[in-house]
Chain A
Amino acid sequence: MLGKLLKYDLKAIYKPLSIFYGIVIVSMFLSHYFDAIDTNGFTFFCREFFRGTTVGFSLGAIINNAMNIWAYFRQNLYGDRGYLMNTLPVSRNTLLLSKFLTALITSLTIVIIGVIAIVLAYGAALNLPDFINNSLALTFQIILVFYLEIVFVMQCGISGVIIGHKFNYNKIALSVVFGFGIFVIANVLTIVLAFIWSCFDSNLSWLFDSSTIIPDLNIMQNLLTAGAIVYAVYIAGLYTLNAHLLKRGIDLD
């Protein structure tokens, strides 16, 4: 049943996203095309314009994806559709898992397409291919942390919807406050953890002391690994919290 549910959830989320993907890919090719031909006033403008749309719509896709997943989750479980969704022979955990996997998959494709598009659009100008070749592991880690942060933000939103609904039916503002609150609390906690770590490891003192020199690549990589672990723990924690809250039932008004 998870497979069928996932198929429909992905279809619903990818439908609006496909517009963003289309614009990103077309913009990427056009910026690449204008970059390859002689630069004059018009082609320069076109290249910069399409570079801008590549980046803009890549970021737009991330925001659109998050908003769609939150809205879709809310409609499915708490809106009018909730009366039918909540009587399907599918456990709430499966409903939640399907939405979680949808967030993982759609975010992954956005990050992959976005990174490829930006590398191709800006590659020549910023020597991005060289950077990637020279620091492949670091690049991968940066992308991984960025990806996990997107998923984490989505989980914050889902938790916000669930907790907000428990406190006040159908008041979206309360869901937004709870979602944002969870995001802020988690980030403050991350900073506190990093600060505690820096007290025991002098290599990390630069994080909280602007007079010290930024460390070498290895320390950056360690920090990114730690960041990835922290985000993964947060995501798992929020998923467990969401599953626990949903298990208690959904009070549709």
Chain B
Amino acid sequence: MSGLILKDVSKTFAGKRVVDKISLTLDQPGVYGLLGTNGAGKTTTIRMLLGIITKDSGEITWNGAPVDRKTVNFGYLPEERGVYPKVKIFDQLMYFAELKGMSRESATSAIQKWAKRLKVEEYLEQPAEKLSKGNQQKIQFMTAVIHDPDLVVLDEPFSGLDPVNTDILKNIIIDLVRQGKFVIMSAHQMATIEEFCTDILILNRGKAVLQGNLKDIKSTYPANRVQIDTNESIDQHLKNFKIENSKNNQYTLKITDEKSAHELLQKLVDHKVQINKFEIMKPTLNDIFIEKVGANNEIK
């Protein structure tokens, strides 16, 4: 079978099981989201997948064969900084590119291409320590993708990036998927995961608590909110609803079922309220995450 498969992968540290029989399948190009609280086992899962740490049990295969970093063309963006602070950016990119099997010529051309795309051309001759956190993150991203990997693992890729650079990186990730790359992404911004990921795995204390296709998962949850945009106040019609947010005649309401939303719409129409928008919404990934993992856990 093509793609990446993790089957019943487990890991124990000092008698504590930090990953407990995790399974996941990426059988077509796309972005797979890993979610979980602090210590849920996301990073350990990623590191076992990359072969940085050994698994205690289970199977990890790529295109049907056991994962081996000599045979799988990985690209990894670690959460921690892996850039060399005193070394010129160009030199360290060349270092990793060459060690990933590229010739000097093709590495130079790839560095120029990615530097232009990520808008870091002017920093290539500077040491990493002179760069901002966001630019260092972009350099680290370059080291992950410069050798055109098949499987890209991104641990908190948007950490330290401003909105403009976040947008640049988002477009690049979309392009990677278009080019047929498999991407695994761990991020704590639920909106980001929701925007990118076709499939997700939510971990809690080392165990998978929810996984599968994001659309399918969301379809199993009933609608729980309504968003309304009107030209006038409708507070008097909302006495039986819990208002989550209301501002400038824009309302977000909690609902228990879709029927109550339809009844509200009918009521507003009957009262000749001019409605600009009325949207019955499915729960967000954040809602699902909190339901599965618990509101008391810090999201990371």
What interface size band does chain A fall in?
A: 20 to 34
Interface residue tally on B, bucketed by range: 20 to 34
Check A87 against B80 for contact (C-beta < 8 Å).
Answer: no
A225 proximal to B (CB < 8 A): no
Q: Interface residues of B: mostly helix, strand, loop or mixed?
A: loop
Please tell me if B53 contacts chain A, counting CB pairs below 8 Å: yes
Interface residues of B in 69-118 (CB under 8 A from A): 69-70, 73-74, 76, 78, 80-82, 84, 95-96, 98-101
Would A5 and B99 count as touching, CB distance under 8 A?
Answer: yes
- Residues on the B chain within 8 Å of A251, using CB: 13, 53
Expressed in whole angstroms, the minimum distance between the Cβ of B96 and any Cβ of chain A is 6
Query: Which A198-253 residues sit within 8 Å CB-CB of chain B?
Result: 248-252
Stretch at the interface among A76-84, A123-131, A149-157, A178-186: A76-84
The verdict on A89 contacting chain B, using a C-beta distance below 8 Å, is: yes
Known interface pairs A80-B80, A89-B73. Does A4 touch B99 (Cβ–Cβ under 8 Å)? yes
A83 in contact with B82 (CB, 8 Å) = yes
Complexed CA–CA distance, A90 and B47 (Å): 16
CB pair A84–B96 under 8 Å, yes or no, is: yes
Contact status A90-B99, CB under 8 Å: yes
Q: Is the pair A249, B100 in contact by a Cβ cutoff of 8 Å?
A: no
Closest B residue by C-beta to A4? B98
Q: Does B293 contact A (CB under 8 A)?
A: no
* A80 to B50 CA separation, bound complex (whole angstroms): 15
In the complex, which of the residues B70, B95, B100, B143 contacts A8, with contact meaning CB atoms closer than 8 Å? B95
A135 within 8 A of B: no
Q: Tell me the interface secondary structure of chain A in the complex.
A: loop
Asked whether A249 lies within 8 Å of B99 as measured between CB atoms, the reply is: no
B74: A residues at CB distance < 8 A: 87, 89
Q: Are A80 and B54 in contact (CB under 8 A)?
A: no
The minimal Cβ–Cβ distance linking B156 to chain A, given in whole angstroms, is 12
- Nearest residue, chain A, Cβ from B99: A88
- Is B52 close to A, CB under 8 A? yes
Tell me whether A86 is interfacial, beta carbon within 8 Å.
yes
Roughly how many angstroms separate A87 CA and B74 CA in the complex, as a whole number? 7
Contacts of A87 in B (CB 8 A): 50-52, 69, 74, 76
Would you give the shortest CB distance from A244 to chain B, in whole angstroms? Answer: 13
* B101 cross-chain contacts in A, Cβ below 8 A: 1, 89
A88 and B96 form a contact (CB under 8 A): yes
CB distance from B129 to the nearest CB of A (A): 13
Select which of A5, A80, A252 is within 8 A of B52 by beta carbon.
A252
Q: Known contacts A89-B69, A89-B100, A90-B99: does B143 contact A84 (CB below 8 Å)?
A: yes
Docked Cα-Cα span, A251 to B98, in Å, equals 25
Query: How many Å lie between the Cα of A1 and that of B101 in the bound state?
Result: 7
User: Given the complex of chains A and B, what is the CA–CA distance between A81 and B87 in angstroms?
Assistant: 12
A80, chain B: closest CB distance, angstroms: 5
CA distance A122 to B76 in the complex (A): 54
Q: Which 3 A-B pairs have the closest CB atoms?
A: A249-B54, A83-B78, A84-B82
List residues of B whose CB falls within 8 A of some A CB: 13, 47, 50-54, 69-70, 73-74, 76, 78, 80-82, 84, 95-96, 98-101, 143
Between-chain CB contacts (< 8 Å), 13 pairs? A1-B99, A1-B101, A5-B99, A8-B99, A81-B84, A83-B76, A83-B78, A84-B76, A89-B69, A89-B70, A91-B69, A249-B53, A251-B53
5 more A-B contacts (CB under 8 A) besides A81-B84, A90-B69, A252-B52? A83-B76, A84-B96, A249-B52, A249-B53, A249-B54
